[in-house]
Structure 1
């Protein structure tokens, strides 16, 4: 039977020897496939290998029985300028197929894909066009075929979902810093909402669009108020108002409306 297949021009590579053995063992067959061609395998397009971790740290995968400290500090990743963020791997050529008659079946080669042009804060390495590097120091954010680098960390609200934040750079909070949490940054901090009974420490300037509403925890042995809200900045502190809070500034403290039962200290002035 094999000789007959060869006589018909069937390539030996495509012969299904197992099927032939079954026919010979049964002594008969109606319709059975005894030779199969090989499908061509198309090449793969460029693939992108991420060389830094994504910034997002999500509180997920916990069961109700797990002991989770929702106030723990989230230490976000920061990359230095020039750090390699992503590597582009070359496309592959693919594997040709083979017909049952031994004819080569052409394949398609993979395409070279470009890095995402929307990868702000990153550039193509001038010494290696297949590498993406950080143009600035900042927080890496993974996107399709690219990595953005943002010198400012953007947070909706400092709460149970985010945890406390400790970031090497600047931070902007769209909402509030809620009670029991802390926010620390080596750069500037901008809080678009308010600060509750929390700790906020900025290496440079601290701006609070809303106000500071702390809490009186009683008095110490020197009859001084023990205040829950604590804010400090290496530069200026600006806020709409402050109530029951400690404020320490290396520059000026600027309060637009009022100060109530708060302890303020500034190396600059009070405005």
Structure 2
């Protein structure tokens, strides 16, 4: 004979059901069955009243519900960077034209940028079954935010922050900022122009009309052709074919195999393992041209201290100009200051004339000037005083720089390890000499306030 009320509990013990075999049941009968079956939690009194009022036979009827456990959420890291190549978008110029050389193919972050944000794991919340027993929940799993070079973690451990400008990378789960940009081929329309806050390494060359700028060093395995390359550090490349266009500049040294129709400037030393042909060169300290050829021909070469080459000029008597004894930066500074001094002296003369007019007017009016003119008079005197101060500082700086030039001149020299050809012009500390005959291994220096050429003995 069937029991009047049957109790059923699902496998996870979160739900308790009754099955009625008789419509004539009461709340107390149902609760007796639940109590007798050990059901203590989540009993639905309202549901039981409804069952008594409208009994349904032979179907499981929910009368108690437990609370399922809620597992904690795992820690999560959201990276604020795009790995791989970004969408290439050429620059639209103000006139509506498109510069296909100016495309961006890599992401750059700045120092202080947030590269990743970690969301901490959450605690689990325990559940309870219909028998009143706790059901344990799992806490979320933690993960480490691992950083490498040029990246730090915030004090609360929730953020990865760039310490330097560069390219964000992830290697084996380690987040870092690389200050080396590697270009696997040429700099051309496939890469666009390069402007990078760090070092740049180019496995190919640089195509005409493109530019490469870096705050660090630039290393180019190919040739720079009629392009602009500028480094905050050193530049090293196979050679430069300038075609009279483009500019190569470095705050440090430059090392090349050859220069042809190039314009090159560096604050440090220029090393050429080949030749300099039809080029304009300026180096802060020295220029060395070595190798099997080691020739400077048809070029204008300027260095602060030393120019040394195997051969200077050519048998074809092509004009070649070599100058030492003046740091190019110092010469530029003197030129700029001299120009400013000239302008300020003119301004001073104009102000002095204006002040004299005011003073003449003041004398005619028994020492009185109208308010508007008195104000302009005071302004003119104040401006004149500022110009006097400015002129004094600039003149003193020019004097100091010229003394520096004298020191450079006394220490500077031009060396030809093999020969110097006629039609070569040499300048040392402002003294000038045109070579009218061929010299063998020679060294030119200042002696008794004039250029003297002597045999060079290594």
TM-score when normalising by structure 1: 0.67
In the alignment, which residue of structure 2 is the partner of 1:268? 285
In the alignment, which residue of structure 1 is the partner of 2:206? 177
Partner of residue 235 from structure 2, selected from 203, 206, 212 = 206
In the alignment, which residue of structure 1 is the partner of 2:168? 141
2-structure distance, mates of 1:228, 1:29: 96
Contact 2:206–2:225 under 8 Å retained in 1? yes
Contact 1:213–1:229 under 8 Å retained in 2? no
Contact 2:101–2:210 under 8 Å retained in 1? yes
In the alignment, which residue of structure 2 is the partner of 1:221? none
In the alignment, which residue of structure 2 is the partner of 1:151? 179
CA displacement 1:93-122 (0-9 Å, x = unmatched): 1344555666543221122322226x2233
Classify 1:91/1:255 alpha carbon distance in 2 versus 1 (closer, same or farther; 3 Å). Answer: same
Q: What RMSD in Å do the two structures reach over aligned CA positions?
A: 4.2
Quote the offset at 1:184 in angstroms.
0.9
In the alignment, which residue of structure 2 is the partner of 1:219? none
Partner of residue 115 from structure 1, selected from 120, 145, 158 = 145
* Greater RCO (CA < 8 Å, at least 6 residues apart): 1
In terms of Rg, which structure is larger?
A: 2
Quote the offset at 1:190 in angstroms.
1.8
* Unaligned segments of structure 1, at least 5 residues: 217-226
Classify 1:40/1:238 alpha carbon distance in 2 versus 1 (closer, same or farther; 3 Å). Answer: same
Classify 1:232/1:139 alpha carbon distance in 2 versus 1 (closer, same or farther; 3 Å). Answer: same
2-structure distance, mates of 1:32, 1:181: 79
In the alignment, which residue of structure 2 is the partner of 1:76? 108
Quote the offset at 1:59 in angstroms.
2.6
Classify 1:12/1:254 alpha carbon distance in 2 versus 1 (closer, same or farther; 3 Å). Answer: same
Contact 1:91–1:109 under 8 Å retained in 2? yes
CA displacement 1:209-267 (0-9 Å, x = unmatched): x22234x4xxxxxxxxxx23431122222112223322122222221122333332333
Quote the offset at 1:195 in angstroms.
1.9
2-structure distance, mates of 1:109, 1:170: 45
Contact 1:70–1:161 under 8 Å retained in 2? no
Classify 1:34/1:243 alpha carbon distance in 2 versus 1 (closer, same or farther; 3 Å). Answer: farther
Number of residues of Structure 1 aligned to a counterpart in Structure 2: 243
TM superposition outliers: structure 1 runs of 4+ over 6 Å: 27-38
1-structure distance, mates of 2:169, 2:66: 42
Contact 1:55–1:77 under 8 Å retained in 2? no
Q: Does residue 246 of the first structure (1) align with residue 263 of the second (2)?
A: yes
More helix by share: 2
Partner of residue 247 from structure 2, selected from 221, 227, 230 = 230
2-structure distance, mates of 1:93, 1:151: 40
* Unaligned segments of structure 2, at least 5 residues: 1-16, 19-26, 91-96, 289-458
